[in-house]
């Protein structure tokens, strides 16, 4: 899609929540790891589509949040899919470095145990890449 | 964890939203496909942990929603992880049949194009299983 077409793209079919946001899941294209869940407003989604780098809306800072802008850990967007009721989206991304600000590849690195949350896995480690789907079992 | 311990498990560290919900991502353990995004309240999370079948909270019906109860397409829960700010969770599940009520394996099967949402992929098809991570490239 060309740039001017992208800017005119009708996003009104998306079921934004009361705050004008939708949850966006980021999944790494190589490892298939689910990296994080964040939120997008219309402006951040348009910017993501245009620049092909994941740009979220930070609910705490109430501002656009270009992932990697300070850390360098950008997410190159390979694909965007919407779900069947158009109120969530899935970004397939090529993650640079670690997705989590705690230096883990994925933000989902906590177990809930009897004594509370427990961090699991190793920091600064990118999981193994599963072999390609084109190979037959 | 034994059943009585599970019922006493302290869930107050979870950052429930204003409606007492957290978003829950379901990912298939075999194919690594992201299947859906739904929501859980405390009761549905406790039930999920106890029965090891994904049970969500339906915001439209305002009731617990045991995934598969009517369709038979249950999600056996293999693992539960929380993210670094404890406001989202990732279920690793073994999906029976198709996750999407539109008979696709994943609910994320829509592209957004110039003319609106376009369904992609084939119904009633489970994607190929990537080869195991224990094999070296």
pLDDT score of A130 more than 80: no
In chain B, the percentage of residues whose pLDDT exceeds 70 is: 90
Whether B133 has a pLDDT exceeding 80, the answer reads: no
**Which is it for strands A75-82 and B34-40: parallel, antiparallel or unpaired?**
unpaired
Residue-level pLDDT at B8: 77
- Would you call B117 and A82 a contact, using CB atoms and an 8 Å cutoff? yes
Q: Using a CB-CB distance cutoff of 8 angstroms, which residues of chain A are in contact with residue B121?
A: none
Distance separating alpha carbons of residues B73 and B75, to the nearest angstrom = 7
CA distance A51 to chain B (A): 16
Token pair of A112, please?
Answer: 């809930």
Q: Is the pLDDT of residue B7 over 90?
A: no
Q: What is the largest CA-CA distance in chain A?
A: 54
Distance CA A120, CA B19 (A): 29
Strand order in the sheet with B110-113: A34-40, A22-28, A89-95, A75-82, B110-113, B116-119
Residue A133 confidence (pLDDT) above 80:
no
The CA radius of gyration of chain B, in Å to the nearest whole number, is: 16
pLDDT tens per residue across span B78-97: 999 999 999 999 999 999 99
Beta-bridge partners for B56: B65
The beta-carbon neighbor of B131 closest among A37, A84, A137 is: A137
pLDDT over 80 at B113, yes or no: yes
Min CA distance, B68 vs chain A (Å)? 17
Average pLDDT over residues A35-47: 98
pLDDT at B43: 97
Is pLDDT of A128 > 50?
A: yes
- The mean of the pLDDT values for chain A is 92
Whether residue A133 and residue B112 make contact (CB cut-off 8 A), yes or no, is: no
Q: Would you say B127 and A129 are in contact if contact means Cβ atoms under 8 Å apart? A: no
Alpha-carbon dihedral sign for residues B22, B26, B29, B34? negative
SS3 B43: helix
Cβ distance of B5 and A114 shorter than 8 Å: yes
Q: How far apart are CA A10 and CA A26, in angstroms?
A: 22
Q: In angstroms, what separates the C-alpha of B54 from chain A's closest C-alpha?
A: 16
pLDDT of res. B117: 95
Q: ipTM strictly over 0.85?
A: yes
Domains present along chain A, CATH in parentheses: 3-8+19-119 (3.10.20.810)
- HSE value, Cβ hemisphere, 13 Å, CA-based, for A59: 14
Q: Supply the pLDDT for residue A131.
A: 61
pLDDT score recorded for residue B131: 61
Q: What is the mean pLDDT of the segment spanning A57-70?
A: 97
* Closest CA–CA distance from residue B111 to any residue of chain A (Å): 5
- Which of A25, A102, A116 lies closest to B10 in CB terms? A116
> In whole angstroms, what separates CA B121 from the centre of its chain?
20
Give the residue from A12, A27, A84 with the most B CB atoms within 10 Å of its CB, the best one to mutate: A84
Tens digits of per-residue pLDDT, B8-37? 789 999 999 999 999 999 999 999 999 999
CB contact under 8 Å between A107 and B83, yes or no, is: yes
Q: Are A38 and A59 in contact (CB under 8 A)?
A: no
Mean pLDDT, residues B98-112: 97
Beta bridge partners of A131: B131
Does an H or E element contain B56, and which?
strand B55-58
Cα three-residue angle A131-A133-A135, rounded to 5 degrees: 75
Closest chain B residue to the Cα of A25, Cα to Cα: B25
Residue pointed to by tokens 């999944």: A27
Residues of A in contact with B135 (CB under 8 A): 131
**Residues in chain B within 8 Å Cβ distance of A9:** 112, 114
Q: Where are the beta strands (DSSP E) in A47-134?
A: 55-58, 63-66, 75-82, 89-95, 110-113, 116-119
Q: Which residue has the tokens 């119904």?
A: B123
């Amino acid at each position: 899609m060309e740039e001017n077409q992208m800017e005119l793209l009708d996003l009104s079919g998306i079921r934004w929540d009361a705050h004008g946001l939708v949850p966006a899941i980021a999944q790494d294209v190589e490892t298939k790891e689910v990296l994080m869940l964040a939120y997008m407003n219309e402006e951040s989604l348009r910017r993501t589509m245009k620049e092909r780098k994941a740009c979220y809306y930070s609910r705490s800072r109430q501002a656009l949040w270009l992932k990697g802008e300070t850390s360098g850990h950008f997410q190159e967007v390979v694909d965007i899919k919407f779900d069947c009721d158009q109120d969530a989206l899935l970004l397939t991304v090529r993650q640079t470095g670690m997705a989590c600000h705690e230096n883990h590849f994925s933000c989902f690195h906590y177990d809930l145990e009897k004594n509370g949350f427990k961090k699991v896995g190793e920091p600064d480690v990118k999981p193994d890449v599963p072999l390609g789907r084109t190979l037959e079992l």
